[in-house]
Amino acid sequence: MRPSSALFFAFAASAVAQDQIPLLDKLKGFLNQATAAISSAVPAAPSNPVKAASGKVAESIQHELTLENWKDVLTVDPTVSTPATQDWLVYITGGNTTCFGLCGNTTKAWNASLPLLAARPNAPKFAIVDCDKEQLLCNSWSVGPPSLYYFQIPKPLADQSAPATTVRFLPLNRTSTTTETFKKLFVDGEYEKTAPYEGYFHPFDGELQKYGLAIPLAYVFWGFSKMPSWLPMILISFISRSFM
């Protein structure tokens, strides 16, 4: 089979995989969207001052990443002497489109945990990606919400060479994530039990980034995600018959 055909099947499979989300999660998502629609017609209750305060703290100490700015944001302080490494903790969230309205619990826990994490000695810097707003960025990284990316970015040496960036991908449970989850991961150091990711979609050192293919593939994945679920199966059926 020609490479182009193999690549097409890979993309089609990725689109079809979108349909494999558990039925319970889809139902929860639909219920959340219906609840939101009903709530919008009801006068809002007085806001919780503690929740509002934690949200403001989160906004003040984390950077919002976009497709255009992430490479400029996720860097090392230029005033730090080499060798040096800057840690970045990136929270990946989404809304009704990419998280089916089920990221509220993890976002609440993340916001509440940020003051604790930021108060640690040698704390990492913090950032957030909303996959509903930045679908191309999330596709180029091949990540989905809710999850975390923990980057350890080395500063380039005098000859501009630098070791590879260490990346750990940490998925989060939509229902059971709490502030204790983040404490165990980053205060108790459990994130170190997760092996660094070194695959093709590595945001800094992956083959797709090196050869400028990450963004074109992100557009392809985005296009497949917009297709009706039945269309890839029909295309695969037609192509398989042509091979027969």
CATH code at 86?
3.40.30.10
pTM (predicted TM-score): 0.72
Q: What is the pLDDT of residues 63-73, one digit of tens each?
A: 999 999 999 99
Q: 68 is in which domain, residue-wise?
A: 11-37+60-243
Task: Give the helix, strand, coil percentages of the chain, each rounded to 5.
Answer: 50, 15, 40
Q: What is the pLDDT of residues 159-187, one digit of tens each?
A: 767 789 999 999 999 999 999 999 999 99
Please indicate, yes or no, if residue 47 is contained in any of the structural domains: no
Please indicate, yes or no, if residue 144 is contained in any of the structural domains: yes
Element (H, E) at 153: strand 147-154
Please indicate, yes or no, if residue 3 is contained in any of the structural domains: no
Compute CA distances 88 → 91, 123, 189, whole Å: 10, 9, 15
Cross-strand pairs, 32: none
Please indicate, yes or no, if residue 161 is contained in any of the structural domains: yes
User: In which band, very low, low, confident or very high, does the pLDDT at 13 lie, cut at 50, 70 and 90?
Assistant: very low
- On the question of pLDDT at 155 being above 60, the answer is yes
Please indicate, yes or no, if residue 201 is contained in any of the structural domains: yes
Residue bearing the bigger pLDDT, 25 or 218: 218
Compute CA distances 240 → 10, 13, 152, whole Å: 14, 14, 45
Please indicate, yes or no, if residue 77 is contained in any of the structural domains: yes
Q: What pLDDT is recorded for position 17? A: 43
Please indicate, yes or no, if residue 2 is contained in any of the structural domains: no
Window from 9-18, 78-87, 198-207 with minimum mean pLDDT: 9-18
Domain count, the chain: 1
